[in-house]
Structure 1
Amino acid sequence: MQEFNLHWDDYATGFGAPDTEYWIGNEALHKLTSHANMSLRIEFEDIYSKSWYAEYDTFTVSSAEDGYRLNIGDRDNDLSNSNCASNYEGGWWFSHCLHVNLNGKFNLGLTWFHADKNEWIAVASSQMKIRRRQS
Structure 2
Amino acid sequence: MNKLIVFVILLLHPTYIKTCREYYKQNLSLKRKLFTSGILHEYSDVMKFQECLRYCKKHHCLSFSTNTETGLCRLYSKIFNDATGAISQDGVAYYYQWSDTCLGWRQSCSPRPTGEYDIRRVSKQDEPQHVLCDMDIAGGGWAVFQNRFDGSVSFDHNSYSNTFGNFSGEFWLGLDMMKTMCYDQPCEARIELEDWQSVRKFAGYSNFHVGWWGQRYQLTISGYTGTAGDSMGDLNGMKFSTANADLDMSAGTNCAKLGQSGWWYNDCGLSNLNGPYTVDTGTEVDNAMTWWTFHGSYRPLKKSRMMFRAIYNN
TM-score by length of 1: 0.87
SS of match in other structure, 2:190: strand
Q: How many residues align?
A: 131
- Higher RCO by CA contacts (8 Å cutoff, separation 6 or greater): 1
For 1:118 and 1:105, locate their aligned partners in 2 and report how far apart those are by CA, in whole Å: 18
Superposition misfits of 4+ residues, deviation over 6 angstroms:
none
User: Shift in Å at residue 109 of structure 1?
Assistant: 2.0
Residues 31-87 of structure 1: CA deviation (Å, up to 9, x unaligned): 011111100000010121100111000000000000011110332363322111112
Which AA in structure 2 matches 1:130? F
SS of match in other structure, 2:300: strand
Is residue 24 from structure 1 mapped to residue 186 from structure 2 by the alignment? no
Which AA in structure 2 matches 1:66? Q
Percent of aligned pairs sharing the same letter: 29
Specify every segment of 5 or more residues in structure 1 that has no aligned partner in the other structure, as ranges: none
Q: Determine which of 54, 61, 79 is the counterpart of 2:249.
A: 79
For 1:31 and 1:93, locate their aligned partners in 2 and report how far apart those are by CA, in whole Å: 18
User: Shift in Å at residue 100 of structure 1?
Assistant: 0.4
Residues 71-121 of structure 1: CA deviation (Å, up to 9, x unaligned): 10332363322111112211111123251011111243211021xx88135
For 2:259 and 2:295, locate their aligned partners in 1 and report how far apart those are by CA, in whole Å: 22
SS of match in other structure, 1:60: strand
For 2:249 and 2:295, locate their aligned partners in 1 and report how far apart those are by CA, in whole Å: 19
Of the two, which has the highest radius of gyration? 2
Q: Is the 8 A contact 1:98 1:111 kept in 2?
A: no
CA-based RMSD: 1.8
Corresponding residue number in structure 2 for 1:12: 161
Matches within 5 A, 1:36-51: 36-51=185-200
Matches within 5 A, 1:1-135: 1-8=152-159, 11-73=160-222, 74-76=236-238, 78-81=248-251, 82-97=253-268, 99-107=270-278, 108-114=287-293, 119-120=296-297, 122-135=300-313
Higher strand share: 1
For 1:96 and 1:53, locate their aligned partners in 2 and report how far apart those are by CA, in whole Å: 23
For 2:198 and 2:264, locate their aligned partners in 1 and report how far apart those are by CA, in whole Å: 25
Q: Is the 8 A contact 1:98 1:112 kept in 2?
A: no
User: Shift in Å at residue 134 of structure 1?
Assistant: 4.1
